[in-house]
Amino acid sequence: MGFKTPSLKSIMPPGRYVVAVSGGVDSVVLLDMLMRDSGLKASDYEFIVAHFDHGIRPDSSQDASFVADLAKKYNLQFRTRREELGERASEELARTRRYEFLRSVASHDHTRLITAHHADDAVETVAINLQRGTGWRGLAVLNSDIIRPLLGVSKQEILDYAQHHSLIWREDSTNASDAYLRNRIRKNTRCLTDDAKRQILALRAHQIDIKGQIDREIIDLIGAGPEYSRYFFTHVNPKVALECLRYVTNARLTRPQLTRALLAIKTAKPRMIYEAGNGVELSFTSRNFVVKLIK
Q: What is the pLDDT of residues 56-114, one digit of tens each?
A: 888 888 999 999 999 999 999 999 999 988 888 888 888 889 999 999 999 888 899 99
Q: In Å, what is the CA distance from 268 to each residue of 175, 235, 281?
A: 44, 15, 13
**Which one-letter amino acid corresponds to residue 182?**
R
Tens digits of residue pLDDT in 242-294: 999 999 998 888 889 999 999 999 999 999 999 999 889 999 999 999 999 88
Question: Whole domain around residue 22: which residue ranges?
Answer: 8-198
Report the domain count for the chain. 2
Residue 210 lies in a domain: no
Q: How many CA atoms lie within 13 A of 122 on its CB side?
A: 30
Is residue 139 located within the same domain as residue 228? no
pTM of the model as a whole: 0.76
pLDDT at 63: 93
Q: What values do phi and psi take at 149, rounded to 5?
A: -65, -20
Is residue 159 located within the same domain as residue 88? yes
Is residue 191 located within the same domain as residue 60? yes
Residue 181 lies in a domain: yes
Is residue 183 located within the same domain as residue 229? no
Q: In what order do the strands lie in the sheet with 45-53?
A: 77-82, 45-53, 15-20, 112-114
Is residue 234 located within the same domain as residue 194? no
Question: Which residues 6+ apart lie within 8 Å of 62 measured at CB?
Answer: 170
Which has the closest alpha carbon to 279: 259, 256, 250, 255?
250
